């Protein structure tokens, strides 16, 4: 009896008991769908009628699907632009905000506000601002003899407009992470460098940037995962268009599964994406382990 | 022990919160013959009052029905029509399907594959359903592979709504019922004024079904077809389809066409209501969005004088899911009640919705319809120009998406109309070989 009681009162049981609800929910809403969609990817199914087992046919079909190829290309272009722009932009903004000037709290807040705004609200705002015929941006550009630009409505510009909008929307997150990391840089190192006569650029390059390595690695990994899963903005703003200009992988699989009733094929795309993200993350972590300096 | 007790309490509280279903979606059959039905519909209660009329009308008819059938209770649950298919798909997975659900006509081939869907083929043959009184386009859309699976819930069609003031300012004759697309083009170009940002005509360019069905109406008028008659191959890339798309491209090149990339956001409606658009091709649901302009409505133009003025209709359906014989029987009784000519008339006069049954148009009470809802009478009369329906096959949504993408590419001048349609046809054919 005493033994049971001792086990029940041990820290392990209490710890797991506290963790259990979260673990259970992650299992239910995370792992079960992952396993289920693996099953779906080997089936021909619309989620309504009984599924048909077709083996690897969905995966084979991917190789001959031009729209999938375009979606992959757009996702890669988006990621290749979004990640460096938001991480480097976030770093520069954080350094600019890491000082004691009047109203610094206001500036920091202003940079962070877009992160907490709902995507739909910012999307509608950008639609109004960037409307080719009636938007404020084109109106102002026309005053200096530029434009009009199509922005979301132009085949060549829509994807880059989404890059710009999402960098604006997410840069605040990078800034907060970098600000926290900047506060953690020991003053002593900076002071020692100053005494040795280092210039500010040299200090930034040789002290600040290396010590921000762990934060940078985290942001690159996290931004890449998010960028490859771009969906909301495309869904709200362009529906993959004009034409196919902003078809990205997740939007394509969403439209297949939920508007066109081709869930098995969509699940196969989801799995390819999962594997791609996993591989990219592992590569990033592997490179990171070689480049990133951990202070402790 | 205290710590452990707390942890257990937290777990149960969270699990209870996570697992409670909220009770939505479940109707029931009581021992005393009481039947509780769940009805999914996309109408919202006021405010704003202007958008609540359909909700109020349906609610009133349900109350009237409950008075006649005290043992049947119907609970209305709001489901956005755009997501009704997804919601039903998920509900079917869990066996939580509603008794009656409002579904777009384009959803029917997919809904048709649910084994829980009630086949109405023999039921609607009974005279009290007045099946042949529904328009042919409506009956086609309620039917998949020869099986009747839905009862028409709403019917509409496309016609041209024009700004009378702009027409008068440019000394243009108001469109007559025999007008042609080249007349429309001339009118639109005359009205277009880049300095004032006024466009002659608007066209949806998001590549969605909104783009595609407007194009399809033009295709049909030109004598074309979406697919071959056996639904095995694309047919829209024939000369008729090219003619329609070329016309749109030329309008775009003349800057007379406002391409609306976000038709769901109501841009075109706002612009038309602000006097910035000469014409908009739309349905009766939009008329209440135009309080600020003096508008007229005319049926679709034909390509050649004396040619076809046919239009496209997007009928929506009520479908019934099997939740036991008592609930199916009650659901049928309700839909029969809801679609009786007298109740359809009451609904039309309250909401401005077109009646789904043709006989309603000639009922005495309908005479005031166009007075109460200016312009809606043209749409009601236009129902006779609905001669065909979009193919009711499971591949249609994917074909439509391909066609929509290519139409937009051609509109923006990325490819020629013929090349764009050929590319869409090639994609469509590849989808059609997969059952």
Report cis status (omega within 30 of 0) of the bond before B47.
Answer: yes
CA-based nearest residue to A177, from A203, A213, A226, A207: A213
Q: Which residues of A touch B113 (CB under 8 A)?
A: 46, 48-49
Residue among A28, A47, A260 whose CB faces B401 most closely:
A260
Evaluate the CA torsion angle B123, B144, A260, A152 in order and state its sign.
Answer: negative
Longest Cα separation, chain A? 86
Residues in A whose CB is inside 8 Å of some CB of B read 5, 8-9, 13-14, 17-18, 20-21, 24-25, 28, 44, 46-50, 67, 124, 127, 131, 133-134, 152-155, 237-244, 255-256, 258-262
Of the candidates B58, B65, B114, B118, the one whose C-alpha atom is nearest the C-alpha of residue B91 is: B114
- Nearest Cα residue to B356 out of B315, B407, B327, B399: B315
Q: How confident is the model at residue A296 (pLDDT cuts 50, 70, 90)?
A: low
* B364, burial (CB in 10 Å: exposed 0-12, middle 13-18, buried 19+): exposed
Question: Dihedral of the CA atoms A257, A258, A260, A264 (nearest 10)?
Answer: 20
Domains, chain A, in order of start with CATH, read: 1-40 (no CATH), 57-291 (1.10.3720.10)
Q: How far is B200 from chain A (nearest CA, A)?
A: 14
Residue B230 phi/psi, 5-degree rounding, is -95, 10
Q: Which residues of B touch A258 (CB under 8 A)?
A: 85-86
**Backbone region of residue B171 per phi and psi (left: phi > 0; alpha: psi in -120 to 50; beta: other values):** left
Chain A positions in Cβ-Cβ contact with residue B4 (cut-off 8 Å): 8-9, 13-14, 17
**Between chains, do A239 and B207 touch, taking CB under 8 Å as contact?**
yes
Q: Is B3 in contact with A9 (Cβ distance < 8 A)?
A: yes
Give how far Cα B27 sits from Cα of B77, B185, B348, Å. Answer: 11, 54, 29
Residues near A181 by beta carbon (within 8 Å), at least 6 away in sequence: A211, A212, A214, A215
Q: How many CB atoms lie within 10 A of CB B317?
A: 26
Closest residue in chain A to residue B414, using alpha carbons only: A155
Report CB contact under 8 Å: A152, B259. Answer: no
- CA distance, residue B127 to nearest chain A CA (Å): 32
Residue A155 to chain B, least CA–CA distance (Å)? 8
From CA A77, how far away is CA A92, in angstroms rounded? 23
Structure tokens at A1: 């009896």
Average pLDDT over residues A105-109: 90
Which pLDDT score is estimated for B21? 42
The 10 Å Cβ neighbour count of residue B48 is: 7
B chain contacts of residue A44, beta-carbon cutoff 8 Å: 434
Which domains does chain B carry?
27-156+315-385 (3.40.190.10), 159-312+395-432 (3.40.190.10)
Mutation for testing the B interface, residue in A6, A21, A151, A161 having most B CBs under 10 Å: A21
Cβ atoms of B386 and B135 within 8 Å: the answer is yes
> Angle B209-221/B396-411 helices, nearest 10 degrees?
80
Distance from CA of A158 to the nearest CA of B (A): 12
Rounded Cα distance between B385 and B136, Å, is: 10
Residue of B nearest to A48 (CA): B114
A243 CA to chain B: closest CA distance, Å? 4
Kindly give the confidence (pLDDT) of every residue in chain B, 435 residues in length, as a single tens digit, with 9 standing for 90 and above. Answer: 344 444 445 455 544 444 444 444 467 777 678 999 999 999 888 776 656 888 999 999 999 999 999 999 999 999 998 889 889 988 998 889 999 999 999 889 889 989 999 999 999 999 999 999 998 889 999 999 889 999 999 999 999 999 999 999 999 999 999 999 999 999 999 999 988 999 999 999 999 999 999 999 999 999 999 999 899 999 999 999 999 999 999 999 999 999 999 888 888 999 999 999 999 999 998 898 899 999 999 999 999 999 999 999 989 999 999 999 999 999 999 999 999 999 999 999 998 899 999 899 889 999 999 899 888 999 999 988 998 889 988 889 899 999 999 999 999 999 999 999 999 999 999 999 875
Average pLDDT over residues A266-293: 93
| Whether A46 and B110 lie within 8 Å, measured CB to CB | yes
From B418's Cα to the closest Cα of chain A, the distance in A is: 15
Measured CA to CA in angstroms, residue B128 lies from B121, B201, B356 at distances of: 14, 44, 15
**Contact indicator for A136, A129 with CB cutoff of 8 Å:** yes
What pLDDT does A50 receive? 79
Taking Cα atoms as reference points, which of A11, A33, A31, A13 lies closest to residue A23? A31
How sure is the predictor about A101, in pLDDT bands with cuts at 50, 70 and 90? confident
A6-38 residue pLDDT tens: 777 788 888 888 999 999 999 999 899 889 999
Q: Do B7 and A18 touch (CB under 8 A)?
A: yes
Q: Closest Cα of chain B to A49: distance in Å? A: 5
pLDDT digits (tens, 9 = 90+) for A53-72: 988 889 999 988 999 999 99
Select from A48, A238, A240 the Cβ nearest to the Cβ of B110: A48
> For chain A, what percent of residues have pLDDT higher than 90?
53
Closest CB from B10, B207, B258 relative to A21 = B10
Q: How confident is the model at residue B82, as a pLDDT? A: 85
Q: What pLDDT does B155 receive?
A: 93
Contact B86 A14 (CB under 8 A): no
Cα separation of A222 and A115, whole Å? 15
| CB–CB contacts below 8 A, A to B | 102
Closest to B399 measured CA to CA, from B429, B357, B421: B429
Q: Give the 3-state secondary structure of chain B.
A: CHHHHHHHHHHHHHHHHHHCCCCCCCCEECCCCCEEEEEEECCCCCCCHHHCHHHHHHHHHHHHHHHHCCCEEEEEEECCHHHHHHHHHHHHHCCCCCCEEEEEHHHHHHHCCCCCECCCCCHHHCHHHCHHHECHHHHHHCEECCEECCEEEEECCCEEEEEHHHHHHCCCCCCCCCCEHHHHHHHHHHHCEHHHCEEEEEEECCCCHHHHHHHHHHHHHCCCCCECCCCCCECCCCHHHHHHHHHHHHHHHCCCEEEECCHHHCHHHHHHHCCCEEEEEECHHHHHHCCCCCEEEECCCECCCCCCCCECCCCEEEEEECCCHHHHHHHHHHHHHHCCHHHHHHHHHHHCCECCEHHHHHCHHHCCHHHHCCCHHHHHHHHHHECCCCCCCCCHHHHHHHHHHHHHHHHCCCCCHHHHHHHHHHHHHHHHCCC
Q: What end-to-end distance do the CA atoms of chain B give, in Å?
A: 62
Which of B89, B115, B261 lies at the smallest CB-CB distance from A47? B89
Chain B residues contacting A, CB < 8 Å? 1, 3-4, 7-8, 10-11, 14-15, 18, 85-86, 89, 92-93, 110-111, 113-115, 197, 205-208, 258-259, 261-262, 265, 267, 394, 397-398, 401, 405-406, 408-409, 412, 414, 427, 434
* Per-residue pLDDT, A214: 92
Which of B8, B200, B256, B405 best probes binding to A when mutated, by most A CB atoms within 10 angstroms? Answer: B405
- What are the pLDDT digits (tens) for A246-276? 999 999 999 998 888 888 999 999 999 999 9
Provide the Cα torsion B397, B400, B402, B408; round to 10°. Answer: -140
Q: Which residues on chain B are in Cβ contact (under 8 Å) with A11? A: none
What are the chain A neighbours of B15 within 8 Å (beta carbons)? 21, 24
Q: Is the confidence metric ipTM above 0.85 for this complex?
A: no
Contact A284, A220 (CB under 8 A): yes
Q: Yes or no: say if A152 and B261 are a contact pair by the CB < 8 Å rule.
A: yes
Tell me the chain B residues in contact with residue A255 when contact means C-beta distances shorter than 8 Å. 401
Say if residue A95's pLDDT is above 70.
yes
Nearest to B14 among A21, A238, A262 (CB): A21
Residue pointed to by tokens 């029969």: B336
CA-to-CA distance for A55 and A43, rounded, in angstroms?
7
**Is the bond preceding A242 in cis, omega lying within 30 degrees of 0?**
yes
Residue B89 CA to its chain's centroid (Å): 20
| Interchain contact, A241 vs B206, CB within 8 Å | yes
Task: Check: CB of residue B233 under 8 Å from CB of residue B251.
Answer: no
Dist. CA A241–CA B403, nearest whole Å: 12
Q: What whole-number distance in Å separates Cα of residue A43 and Cα of residue A82?
A: 34
The contacts found for B263-271 with CB under 8 angstroms, 24 or more apart, are B263/B204, B263/B206, B263/B208, B263/B210, B263/B211, B264/B206, B264/B208, B264/B210, B265/A124, B265/A127, B267/A131, B268/B202, B268/B204, B271/B199, B271/B202
CB B329 within 8 A of CB B250: no
Query: Two tokens at A225?
Result: 């995962």
Q: Determine the distance in angstroms separating the CA of A147 from the nearest CA of chain B, rounded to an integer.
A: 15
Q: Which of A14, A48, A244 sits opposite B113 (nearest CB)?
A: A48
The answer to whether the Cβ–Cβ distance between B409 and A8 falls below 8 Å is no
């Amino acid at each position: 009896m005493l033994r049971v009681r001792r086990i029940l009162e041990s820290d392990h049981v209490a710890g797991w008991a506290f963790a259990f609800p979260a673990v259970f929910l992650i299992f239910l809403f995370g792992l079960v769908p992952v396993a289920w969609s693996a099953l779906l990817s080997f089936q021909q199914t619309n989620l309504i009628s009984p599924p048909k087992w077709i083996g690897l046919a969905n995966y084979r079909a991917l190789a001959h699907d031009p729209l999938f190829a375009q979606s992959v290309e757009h996702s890669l272009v988006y990621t290749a632009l979004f990640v460096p722009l938001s991480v480097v932009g976030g770093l520069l903004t954080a350094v600019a905000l890491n000082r004691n000037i009047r109203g610094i709290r206001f500036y920091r807040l202003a940079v962070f506000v877009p992160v907490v705004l709902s995507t739909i609200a910012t999307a509608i705002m950008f639609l109004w601002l960037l409307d080719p015929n009636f938007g404020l941006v084109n109106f102002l550009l026309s005053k200096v003899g530029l434009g009009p630009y199509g922005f979301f409505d132009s085949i060549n510009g829509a994807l880059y407009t989404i890059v710009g909008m999402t960098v604006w929307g997410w840069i605040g997150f990078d800034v907060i992470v970098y600000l926290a990391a900047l506060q953690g840089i020991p003053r002593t190192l900076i002071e020692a460098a100053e005494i040795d006569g280092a210039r500010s650029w040299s200090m930034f390059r040789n002290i600040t940037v290396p010590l921000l390595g762990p934060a940078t690695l985290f942001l690159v990994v996290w931004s890449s995962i998010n960028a490859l899963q771009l969906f909301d903005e495309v869904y709200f703003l362009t529906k993959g268009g004009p034409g196919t200009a902003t078809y990205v992988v997740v939007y394509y699989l969403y439209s297949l599964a939920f508007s066109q009733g081709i869930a098995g094929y969509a699940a196969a795309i989801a799995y390819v994406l999962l594997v791609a993200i996993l591989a990219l993350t592992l590569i990033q972590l592997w490179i990171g382990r070689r480049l990133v300096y951990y202070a402790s | 022990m205290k710590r452990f007790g707390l942890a257990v309490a937290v777990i149960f509280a969270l699990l209870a919160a996570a697992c409670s279903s909220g009770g939505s979606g479940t109707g029931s059959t009581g021992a005393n013959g009481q039947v509780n039905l769940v009805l999914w519909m996309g109408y919202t209660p006021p405010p704003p009052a202007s958008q609540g009329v359909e909700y109020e009308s349906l609610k009133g008819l349900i109350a009237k029905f409950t008075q006649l059938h005290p043992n049947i209770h119907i609970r209305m649950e709001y489901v956005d029509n755009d997501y009704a298919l997804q919601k039903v798909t998920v509900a079917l997975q869990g066996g939580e399907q509603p008794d009656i659900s409002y579904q777009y006509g384009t959803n029917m081939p997919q809904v048709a594959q649910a084994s829980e869907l009630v086949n109405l083929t023999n039921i609607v043959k009974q005279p009290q359903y007045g099946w042949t009184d529904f328009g042919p386009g409506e009956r086609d859309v309620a039917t998949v592979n020869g099986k009747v699976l839905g009862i028409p819930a709403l019917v509409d069609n496309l016609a041209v709504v024009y700004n009378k003031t702009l027409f008068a300012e440019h000394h243009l004759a108001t469109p007559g019922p025999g007008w042609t697309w080249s007349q429309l083009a001339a009118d639109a170009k005359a009205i277009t004024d880049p300095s004032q940002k006024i466009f002659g005509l608007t066209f949806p360019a998001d590549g969605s079904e909104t783009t595609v069905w407007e194009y399809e109406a033009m295709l049909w008028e030109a004598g074309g077809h979406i697919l071959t008659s056996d639904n095995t191959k694309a047919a829209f890339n024939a000369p008729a389809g090219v003619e329609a798309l070329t016309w749109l491209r030329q309008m775009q090149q003349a800057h007379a066409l406002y391409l609306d990339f976000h038709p769901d956001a109501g841009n075109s409606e706002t612009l038309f209501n602000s006097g910035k658009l000469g014409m908009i091709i739309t349905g009766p649901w939009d008329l209440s969005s135009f309080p600020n302009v003096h508008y007229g409505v005319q049926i679709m133009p034909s390509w050649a004088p004396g040619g076809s003025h046919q239009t496209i209709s997007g009928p929506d359906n009520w479908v019934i899911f099997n939740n036991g014989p008592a609930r199916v029987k009650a659901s049928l009784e309700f839909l029969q009640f809801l679609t009786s000519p007298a109740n359809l008339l009451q609904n039309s006069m309250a909401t401005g919705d077109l009646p789904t049954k043709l006989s309603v148009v000639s009922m005495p009470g309908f005479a005031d319809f166009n007075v109460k809802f200016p312009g809606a009478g043209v749409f009601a009369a236009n129902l006779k120009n609905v001669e065909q329906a979009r193919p009711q096959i499971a591949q249609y949504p994917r074909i439509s998406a391909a066609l929509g993408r290519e139409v937009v590419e051609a509109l923006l001048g990325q490819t020629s109309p013929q090349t764009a349609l050929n590319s869409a046809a090639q994609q469509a054919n590849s989808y059609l070989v997969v059952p």
